[in-house]
Structure 1
Amino acid sequence: MSTAHADPLPTALHTAAAVREMDRRSIEEHGIPGYTLMTRAGEASVAALLAHWPLATRISVVCGGGNNAGDGYVIARLLRASGRSVRVGTLAHPGRLAGDAAQAWRDAVAAGVSVATFEAAQLDDAHVIVDALLGTGLERAVTGDWAAAIDAVNAAHARGVAVLAVDIPSGLHADSGAVLGTAVTADLTVSFIGLKLGLFVGDGPGHSGAVVFADLGAPAAVRAAAPVAAERYTGADRGVLLAPRPRAAHKGDHGHVLVVGGDSGYAGAARMTGEAAARVGAGLVSVATRAAHAGAIAAARPELMIRGIEAPDELDPLLARASVLALGPGLGQHAWGRALFEYACGVAQPLVLDADALNLLAQTPRRRTDWVLTPHPGEAARLLGTTTAAIQADRLGSARALVARYGGVAVLKGAGSVVAQADAPPALILAGNPGMGSGGMGDVLTGTIAGLLAQGLAPAAAARLGAWLHATAGDLAAADGGQRGLLATDLLPHLRRLANP
């Protein structure tokens, strides 16, 4: 069980190539010896290990053949100096190591560290396993003895042995987060110099455990100049974006959301969208839906203004007052929904598109700069003319492609939702949980973003904050009663509290 609280992580995420360049510049341009950086990496790893598992006395370090192994040898030396029992199992002959890694091995042996060819049995009585097998340069599937070693580490982890990964879990691609054949499942990963993108996308979160960051004293100028692949969005600007309202504020100051959707049998989708918009602070919310639904929605949530419509021009009185449109929840793809979609896409107000509005957009592509698209991977695949698997294999690239083709802002939903815009790195929303994979969650997200837009937030800011509010509300709701059985409407009271920082 972890007992330490990790320091706040940087928001910037980098590719492996960008981090290698930071490392190179620190050494060559700023005169920090490579072995100094390696020693600092070992020190940071040992500090994290002892903070998380202070009672651990038997540590097994599994080393490969590069600088990641060098970090492992430094860790072994420092742990032995602290009085712990340490064994190193290696899959690469130490005599073939070069440079700083070779020096780390020599220093470890000189300090009395036991080094032997790796055998799975060395893991049997360990309290903690240190994974220093493979680093960020891995580009192909792990096979043979290396795969067997990773599987042995995972088998020990399944028996309850704690695992610390050095820089990145072995077998995980540092950029995409893909598992290359097999990958270590760690409880804790200590990432150096720059946070690797792969720890937070794809399969990364499921293999990295808690992430601790150590900049190793790399110059701030070096880190600031590094290209950013993505940003972790943490809602840190929530207090500014959702500042307290003036005492004299009234409902007309906070925008008017018009929800367009709810074909026959789908009244609930439109209602949840409208209610979410109201719960995050929209001053007024109207719902344009099938006439047969109007009475039921109004009875269930009388604060929403319901208008039954059967023809697109019946939207005109509502459009005259609306500041934002939420288009698509329960819209359907039949004649009624298609007509409303075409009409609504031509309005002057900004839009949030979801569900069948996205499916209709895929059939009749167009561009706008002031809309927010909120597809799940299947809808994104239709919008981009590809497969869901291709979307999931490159979620950041897919979100950027949506913006390139359709304009505006794209929120690619899923585990680790991605918010992309044209002029900034994508934002990752790392809150949320599997219980949110249930009907209506997307409708609530659409209303949340629309409600923020109505209050004057720019589309990108509304999309980022809305996705974060939605995901965080999901986590709070799951904490109340568990992930199984989590309903979209369970998020609503938490959305209200989160929208009042």
Structure 2
Amino acid sequence: MDLDDFEALYTAAQTRALDSCAINDHQIPGITLMSRAAEAAFDCLIGTWAQPECVQVLCGTGNNGGDGYLVADLAHKRGIKTTVLQLGDADKIGGDALLAREQALANGVEVIPFDDAAVLPIGVVVDALLGTGLGGDVRGDYAEAIAEINAAGTPVLAVDIPSGLCADTGRVLGTAVRADLTVTFIGLKRGLFALQAPDYTGELQFAGLGVPAQVYRQVPADCFRLQLEPLLDAMPPRPATAHKGLYGTVLVIGGDYGMAGAAALAAEAALRCGAGLVRVATRPQHVAALVARTPEIMPVGVESGADLQPLLDSADTLVVGPGLGQSPWSEYLLQAALASGKPMVLDADGLNLLAAGKVQPRPRMIVTPHPGEAARLLGVSTAEVQADRFAATSALQQKLGGVVVLKGNGSLIASEKEMLLSDYGNPGMASGGMGDVLSGVIGALLAQGQEPLAAAALGVCLHGAAADIAAEEGMRGLVATDLMPWLRELLG
């Protein structure tokens, strides 16, 4: 997989390093970068809202506030009625931000302390309060200002990042501005694509500010935002002589009493994503129902690990966990699957059995937990996982090895050396069976010869993109089987 095909994502510290490198190593003055940031933000403001009735810019005391002062200066020069509401002690403003403030004041921009004014429900509001340096929850006047911005009901442009949103995790730090448009600079912040961020960023625009490519080589990224097209391009076309033996046999292991549907979904997804053959090892009572639903699937009733062995011998890839349950039967099958050494996607109850210590992990598995399963595997709370999904994904990978997929808003895929993010998908996917489909998709890609990281990356993007197409008819009521035709169409 060529990471150059994907957008680099940066932490706040890495973005500051990019900024510092541009200033110190490439002699781009900080005020020049600040001016370029203001111009980019103002161009987006005008491009989106033309000539608004007025512009209200809320500025903090740091460089984010400096950007805001220069946006205000540009709006004032454009003839738009412009007011800056200053938060924090203006005497503490220094460096380039002070230069920006002095320029705006010299050009006649009206500046009012926040304590003496209020955010009016007119025009466009520009959020230049806090930027990426926020270390704890928003408090005091800043929290009050954010509340006023959100209550005003006017369009909001956030400069670099909505104030109160963590640039590293996408977590809301107490409260955050709900922007309609966010213009971010120099480096894409990884928190803009994770967890709660999509509810706060609105439309996202990026401006590189003319930073030389050498800067990005000097400060390498360690996380990348995936795009579906390069991943699909890496799938080889099928030759005219193709036959099912070329595309692998997937064995889905699961479907304990009352949970046959999960195994059926995983198996059907594997078929729709190009596996040559798909077998299901399940409870004997479920065989007839599985055949009736999808006759192309070959289900076999198994009662023990010994019954499973012939199926394991003939499989290229295993998908273990959909509807597996946590009974002794479940444990026997999982133990046998792990002992086979076959490439494996482990999901659902397979993960719960692993977390409970019933089995031991083995290298080169692909595990696909949701946050609750990840919490059980790490021995922490779900809230702790969600507070920093990047750290949780890294911790899981270090603990289990192989490839980890942490599902959720901004799904993360990690190997020992790579961290990838997929922001495909939508809230309509919050329904039962979606994870079972994903495990089948990844299993099919493994069976067709994809390396584990590539299979996981393509599988997650494909799954989310299919859901995005299906959701065009409405998110409420979206179900896992709605993805099947779109999975096939996307793969081509």
Q: Give the TM bin, normalised by the shorter chain.
A: over 0.9
Alpha-carbon separation, structure 1, partners of 2:382 and 2:288: 38
- The structure-2 alpha-carbon separation of the partners of 1:38 and 1:66, relative to structure 1 and needing over 3 Å to count, comes to same
- Opposite residue 242 of structure 1, the aligned amino acid is M
Q: Secondary structure at the match of 1:190?
A: strand
Secondary structure in 1 aligned to 2:340?
coil
Moved more, 176-185 or 247-256: 176-185
Q: Is 1:138 the counterpart of 2:134 in the alignment?
A: yes
- Following the alignment from structure 2 to structure 1, what is the Cα–Cα distance between the partners of residues 34 and 425? 35
Deviations 1:196-235 (A, max 9, x none): 1221223222211121111111121112222424211122
Query: Residue in 1 aligned with 2:8?
Result: 12
What is the match of residue 210 of structure 2?
217
AA of the residue aligned to 1:269? A
Q: Is the 8 A contact 1:174 1:197 kept in 2?
A: yes
The aligned residue for residue 83 of structure 1 is 79
The one-letter code matched in structure 2 to 1:443 is: D
1:451: how far off? 0.6
- 8 Å contact from structure 1 (residues 372, 410) kept in 2: yes
Label 1:99 to 1:358 Cα distance change in 2 as closer, same or farther (>3 A): same
Q: SS of the counterpart of 1:346?
A: helix
Question: Residues of 1 paired with 2:195 and 2:373: CA distance?
Answer: 18
- Length-normalised TM-score, structure 2: 0.96
Q: CA deviation at 1:260?
A: 0.8
Question: Quick one: distance in 2 between partners of 1:451 and 1:495?
Answer: 12
The worse-fitting range, judged by mean Cα deviation, of 411-420 and 168-177 is 168-177
Q: 1:416 aligns with which of 410, 427, 442?
A: 410
Is the partner of 1:329 in helix, strand or coil? coil
User: What does the per-residue CA deviation read over 1:310-337, in whole Å, with 9 as the maximum and x for residues that have no partner?
Assistant: 1222222222321101011111111211
SS in 1 for 2:194: coil
- How far the C-alpha of 1:341 sits from its partner, in A, is 0.7
1:494 maps to 2:479: no
Decide which of 333, 340, 349 is 1:347's aligned counterpart: 340
Q: Percent identity?
A: 52
TM-score, normalised by the number of residues in structure 1: 0.94
Note if contact 1:171-1:180 (Cα within 8 Å) is conserved in structure 2.
yes
Equivalent residues in 2 for 1:267-416, closer than 5 Å: 267-362=260-355, 363-416=357-410
In structure 2, C-alpha distance between the alignment counterparts of 1:361 and 1:485, rounded to whole Å: 32
What does residue 233 of structure 1 align with? 226
CA contact under 8 A between 1:256 and 1:284: conserved in structure 2? yes
- How far residue 247 of structure 1 moved from its aligned partner, in angstroms, is 1.3
Letter in 2 for 1:152: E
The AA in structure 2 aligned to 1:26 is A
Question: 1:72 Cα shift?
Answer: 0.6
Aligned match of 2:125 in 103, 122, 129?
Answer: 129
Note the C-alpha offset of 1:122.
4.9
Comparing 106-115 with 359-368, greater Cα deviation is found at 359-368
- Kept in 1, the 8 Å contact 2:254–2:320? The answer is yes
Report the counterpart of residue 465 of structure 1 in structure 2.
Answer: 458
Structure 1 residues 111-120 or 294-303, which shifts more?
A: 111-120
Residue 80 of structure 1 deviates from its aligned partner by 1.7
Amino acid at match of 2:388: D
Distance between the aligned counterparts of 2:196 and 2:289, measured in 1? Answer: 43
Secondary structure class of the residue paired with 2:161? coil
Q: 2:241 maps to what in 1?
A: 248
Query: Relative to structure 2, which stretch is displaced further, 306-315 or 448-457?
Result: 306-315
Q: Residue in 2 aligned with 1:193?
A: 186
Q: Distance in 2 between matches of 1:369 and 1:41?
A: 46
Aligned counterpart for 1:485 among listed residues 466, 477, 487? 477
Which residues of structure 2 form unaligned runs of 5+?
none
Match of 2:426? Answer: 433
Q: Once the 2 structures are TM-superposed, how far is the Cα of residue 433 of structure 1 from its aligned partner?
A: 1.4
| Distance of 1:243 and 1:86 partners within structure 2 | 56
Residue 200 (structure 2) pairs with residue 207 (structure 1)? yes
In structure 2, the residue matched to 1:113 is 109
1:31-82 CA deviation, whole Å, 9 max, x = no partner? Answer: 1111111100000001111112224241111111111111111101111222
Note the residue ranges of structure 1 that are not aligned, 5 or more in a row. Answer: 1-8
Is this contact kept in 1: 2:178–2:202, CA < 8 A? yes
1:36-75 superposed matches below 5 A: 36-75=32-71
Report if the CA contact (8 A) 2:286-2:301 is conserved: yes
Aligned residue for 1:360, secondary structure, equals helix
